[in-house]
Chain A
Amino acid sequence: MKLLIKNGRVVDPSQDLDAKLDVLIEDGVIARVDKRIKAAVEVIDADGLVVVPGLIDLHTHLREPGQEHKETIATGTRAAVAGGYTAVCAMANTAPPNDERAVTEMIIAEAARNGSCRVYPIGAVSKGLKGEALAELADLRAAGCVAVSDDGNPVYNAQLMRRALEYCRMLGMPVIAHEEDANLNEGGVMHEGFYSTLLGMAGIPAASEETMVARDVILARVTGAHLHIAHLSTAGAVEAVRNARAAGVRVTCEVTPHHIALGDEAVQSFSTNLKMNPPLRSPEHREAILAGIADGTIDAIATDHAPHHFDEKNVEFDLAPFGVIGLETAFAVCHERLVRKKVIGLSRLIELMSSGPARIFRLPGGTLAPGAPGDVALLDLDATLTVAAPFQSKATNSPFIGEKLRGRAVTTIVGGVVKYSRKKR
């Protein structure tokens, strides 16, 4: 089976490509990227579009098993391909959590049956996400987990974290840290700063994240293991990663589109779609994140796609669960706020959303080099995405509802098969 994508502007940061080229996919893998390929096969005309390696999300909550009222593997991956993603890493905090082989195998099997894109499970660090005893990490790795994380909770016990890092160094996979010391939060529901004071809400201080990042960077240095910091949101954390990297510590990190685009002043609306953890921060933190994106400190943009049911969010701000969806808006938001605002170029954005994630988690894809998976996204940089429910996701808890954003995926190809195609204007 062959598929030819003609006349597009191919942007592939893994090969430093940015030129008008054709892409030929054969038997599910990239066969050739060249000028004017002639082949008697199915053709997609990409004239006026940008052709990139499919986006890869390092941080997705698919909610299955156990919370299918929020999202399923089927709906979450449909949302993914609608956003240009060809692979997502599924977080472990399902019910039951992905802390043993059976759950990993179930996720992989369900993704193969009903998924629209590739799904790479992330296992739990600790049994039951309780932070007490290590999960069977080698078994999880063997079953197909690409990393481990207790995401949603920090690993408070420093010795457990150290042992997890040591063990995962042997297994060749990263430990993903959700950095938060909830003792500093005291029931916090938003960033601690002027607006939490104004609104009378309990705050989550930047120090809650920064103290834990500092600890884990030290543990990564001591163990020589690969530490990946999830949803970095503060200036101090960016600084800590930058310094650790310079000192040779194996630390990588991701930021979310909402921390790039939004600030804590927005919470004045009391909209529960602005409640997530880590919370929207104040301008000095956002500026530090943008600087980290520009100077290469930040390796990836990850959505932290966290679907919740409408009823769960339709309550008082304090009572609503943390989390927002992001797969369907991530590219548009980042294109609007980073590329159109000239923080970075398009190639760097694709690196952050595709090549970078593939490189740091050692995943297939993230490149259009011959032999790579035939995972490709076609982007229309001039098309407007008006964010509104319904979404492909089961959930509607997007902080961007009502925004008009320029740039969106129009066709998403996974393994040489078109999994998403937007009707022509």
Chain B
Amino acid sequence: MRAETSSLKSKDLLGIEHLSPDEITLILDTAEGFKEVSERPVKKVPALRGQLVINLFMEASTRTRVSFEIAEKRLSADTLNFTAAGSAVEKGETLIDTAENLMAMAPDMIVIRHKYPGAPKMLAERLPASIINAGDGAHEHPTQALLDAFTIRERLGRLAGVNVSIVGDIAHSRVVRSNIHLLTKMGAKVTLAAPPSLMPVEVERMGVRVVNSLDAAIDGADVIMMLRIQLERQGKLSFPSLREYYNTFGLTPDRLRRAKEGVIVMHPGPMNRGVEIASDVADGPWSVILNQVTNGVAVRMAVLYLLGGAHGTE
């Protein structure tokens, strides 16, 4: 499928929820071209030359921040990394003041990771720069869902009709929300599995099926996406122990025996080996976890290009 549109409607990428299937296809198609750039000896194109991108990371991140920075550099943008630690944020500056001060230095795009839902939208409504959401609380993480979709499409050749099971801490995951929006828009079938204490209410209304066992999630799945369990939740009210979690929802080679031939296993990282996923699975033939990371750069290049390069300096 080729996109019938050649640009994104919004100046920002705040989430997948308000993207059209055509826009999603455009980003994925554009990313295919950029993946090739990363395989060249000289991994750089001049698309964003002269543009300033600020990476505003108000919450810890390794993979996403590094991936964005590499994507920006491969597009020849000037980049600046800003983290909450060691900044005026620690002196009590508000997000809006921080952003307006950065805006006074005329960035073209701001990539923001923030602890709370809606923070990227706050900036998008107030600043002329393009805002890219790199994760806002448990709300959305659009580039993660796009790189997941890119990886599925690359491996299985399509998104429509693909059975995707997502397992783990659904309640607190931004990855799962963006993935549900994207996959259902593109015609995939989404199944969620978690202990009920980690399943948000009325999530079925997002167009997904909810099951309460790992085996039911594995049955018939073309893709199994495991979510990270936040270690600090154990022994509190979400579930009794990591040991019990692993025994009920941990993905092991043994559990995978009932899976469909050719199933792929994904994980957005960071993984907790021996909690939600056994090392034999994470490192095994099913795993496309490192492909996801590689594809993340290409997908982020596509997003940056479409928001900045496509209607910026050219």
Chain A interfacial positions (CB closer than 8 Å to B): 186, 192-194, 196-201, 203, 205, 270, 311, 314-319
Contacts and interface: CB of A to CB of B under 8 A. Distances in A.
Contacts of A316: 95, 114, 116, 118-119, 122
A200 B96 contact: no
Contacts of A205: 201
Given A194-B205, A314-B94, A315-B95, A200 B139 contact: yes
A198 B206 contact: yes
Contact of B118 (A193, A194, A317): A317
16 contacts: A192-B201, A193-B202, A194-B202, A196-B200, A197-B200, A197-B201, A198-B206, A200-B117, A314-B94, A314-B96, A315-B95, A316-B95, A317-B116, A317-B117, A318-B117, A319-B116
A231 B115 CA distance: 30
Given A316-B114, A316-B122, A201 B137 contact: yes
B177 A203 contact: no
Contacts of B200: 196-197
B201 A203 contact: yes
Contacts of A319: 116
Contacts of B237: 186
B189 interface: no
Given A316-B116, A318-B116, A193 B96 contact: no
Interface residues of B, number: 26
Given A192-B201, A203-B201, A315-B94, A197 B206 contact: yes
A194 B117 contact: no
Interface string B84-97: 00000000001110
B114 A201 contact: no
B118 to A, nearest CB: 3
Contact of B174 (A193, A194, A200, A203): A200
Interface string B150-182: 000000000000000000000000100100000
A204 to B, nearest CB: 12
B214 interface: no
B121 interface: yes
Nearest to A311: B94
A196 B95 contact: no
Contacts of B116: 316-319
A203 B171 CA distance: 11
Contacts of B138: 200-201
A315 B140 CA distance: 19
Contact of A270 (B118, B174, B177): B118
A352 B206 CA distance: 39
B132 to A, nearest CB: 17
Contacts of B95: 315-316
Contacts of A201: 117, 137-139
